[in-house]
Amino acid sequence: MESAAEPEPPNRLGPTVHRSVLPVEAIETLALRPGMLVVDGTMGGAGHTLSLAEQVGPTGRVLALDADAGAIERAAGLIGGKNIEPIHANFRDLPEVLRERGIAGVDAILVDLGLSSDQLADRERGFSFQTDGPLDLRFDVSTGESAGEMLDRLDERRLADLIFEYGEERASRRIAREIVRQRRPDVAWTADRLAQLVSRCVPRSPQHAIHPATRTFQALRIAVNGELESLELLLRDSPSLLKPGGRLGVISFHSLEDRRVKEAFRDDPRWEVVTRKPIRPRDAEVELNPRSRTARLRVAARRDAAAERRAAEMPAAPKRFLGS
């Protein structure tokens, strides 16, 4: 679960304030070489993007995707003139992105599934609990419905199920009931309004560091952006997008994401697991960047056709094999 630090840059689209998670480990485990073609599926503040570009050198190329147009705009000054192509697209659309560019395969793909500090600081998006701006929660504000619209549309049972399934929130039914009771046609949902509502339903516990509304906000954000569906599509499609031996690295922040990555790498015969256990941030990184605390990096490589056939014929590995 991501923590709720509240950075406040002076304006919505000023310079990035984001600090990349696992900046060294994420790059080292991809085994990059000069001249490679790689994909950063979540450019954000461009920290990982710039490191990828440095590793592949001037003869290499980085395709940097982000569903958030604001991220593309903020990073423009950092990546200009380098071997980086910024692309406004969700990583689930990577097959189409490569097809449009006539690219048959790439050498590596990296995705960081966490929120960026820039998104938390954007008062018009509602990612922070302590803003009175609209409750939007979309990465791409040009498509789909906002979280506030979803709260007004869903019935109590569907809201409760969503908050429980995507937020693993035990008080989901109590929260959903209160949301429905508090609906007002002339009062828009804001992040602060929802956070206060949830806090009344889930009192803050001294044993838990996270804000009482964290799980509910996570659930709504996942639902609004189709995050788990996007991840599943990436895990399904990546082996056919990578060259043999090409690697996929995924940085996840909660069990719903990490479980899907772990199981895909274990069960799909097209993958050869590189990280037998997830790589976690060192204490020094967590101290410097508290939101990195729950990050987990898993990496797998695409097998060649012969190795894939051999793997498909082998008995399934014990579920404890990949660690926790």
Residue range 10-14: mean pLDDT, rounded: 43
In this predicted structure, the answer to whether residue 207 has a pLDDT above a threshold of 70 is no
- pLDDT at residue 122, rounded to an integer: 73
- pLDDT at residue 11, rounded to an integer: 37
In this predicted structure, the answer to whether residue 9 has a pLDDT above a threshold of 60 is no
Residue range 268-295: mean pLDDT, rounded: 96
In this predicted structure, the answer to whether residue 242 has a pLDDT above a threshold of 80 is yes
Q: How many percent of the chain have pLDDT more than 70? A: 89
- pLDDT at residue 88, rounded to an integer: 97
- pLDDT at residue 18, rounded to an integer: 65
Partners of residue 297 on adjacent β-strands: 251, 279
- pLDDT at residue 126, rounded to an integer: 83
Between the alpha carbon of residue 173 and those of residues 83, 150, 189, 205, the distances in Å are 50, 16, 19, 19
- pLDDT at residue 17, rounded to an integer: 58
Report how far residue 158's alpha carbon sits from residue 219's, in angstroms, rounded to the nearest whole number.
12
Torsion of CA 7, 9, 15, 18, to 10 degrees: 0
Residue listed under structure tokens 């709260």 = 151
Contact call for residues 301 and 271 (beta carbons, < 8 A): yes
Residue range 95-108: mean pLDDT, rounded: 99
- Mean pLDDT is lowest, of 148-157, 205-214, 309-318, for 309-318
Compute the Cα dihedral for 139, 142, 144, 148 and give only its sign: positive
Residues 72-84 pLDDT 10s: 998 888 898 889 9
Highest mean pLDDT among 15-19, 20-24, 76-80, 129-133: 20-24
Residue type, 70: G
Token readout for 56 is: 């592949």
Give CA 19 to chain center in angstroms. Answer: 14
- pLDDT at residue 132, rounded to an integer: 83
Residue range 95-123: mean pLDDT, rounded: 91
In this predicted structure, the answer to whether residue 204 has a pLDDT above a threshold of 90 is no
In this predicted structure, the answer to whether residue 60 has a pLDDT above a threshold of 70 is yes
- pLDDT at residue 56, rounded to an integer: 98
Residue type, 240: S
Residue range 161-183: mean pLDDT, rounded: 98
Compute the Cα dihedral for 227, 215, 275, 117 and give only its sign: positive
Residue listed under structure tokens 């509502």 = 197
Band of residue 1 on the pLDDT scale cut at 50, 70, 90: very low
For 190, list phi and psi in degrees, rounded to 5: -120, 165
142: left (phi over 0), alpha (psi -120 to 50) or beta: alpha
Structural domains of the chain ordered from first start? 23-117+227-322 (3.40.50.150), 124-225 (1.10.150.170)
Token readout for 136 is: 């939007």
Residue range 163-188: mean pLDDT, rounded: 97
Higher-confidence position of 117 and 288? 288
3-state secondary structure the chain: CCCCCCCCCCCCCCCCCCCCCCHHHHHHCCCCCCCCEEEECCCCCCHHHHHHHHHHCCCCEEEEEECCHHHHHHHHHHHCCCCEEEEECCHHHHHHHHHHCCCCCEEEEEEECCCCHHHHHCCCCCCCCCCCCECCCCCCCCCCCCHHHHHHHCCHHHHHHHHHHHHCCCCHHHHHHHHHHCCECCECCEHHHHHHHHHHHCCCCCCCCCCCCHHHHHHHHHHHHCHHHHHHHHHHHHHHHEEEEEEEEEEECCHHHHHHHHHHHHHCCCEEECCCCCECCCHHHHHHCHHHCCCEEEEEEECCHHHHHHHHHCCCCCHHHHCC
pTM above 0.85, yes or no: yes
Residue range 92-103: mean pLDDT, rounded: 99
In this predicted structure, the answer to whether residue 321 has a pLDDT above a threshold of 70 is no
Contact call for residues 301 and 108 (beta carbons, < 8 A): no
Residues 134-157 pLDDT 10s: 999 999 999 999 999 999 999 999
Exposure on the CB side of residue 216, measured as CA atoms within 13 A: 34
- pLDDT at residue 322, rounded to an integer: 47
Please give the mean pLDDT across all residues of the chain. Answer: 90
Compute the Cα dihedral for 162, 163, 169, 171 and give only its sign: negative
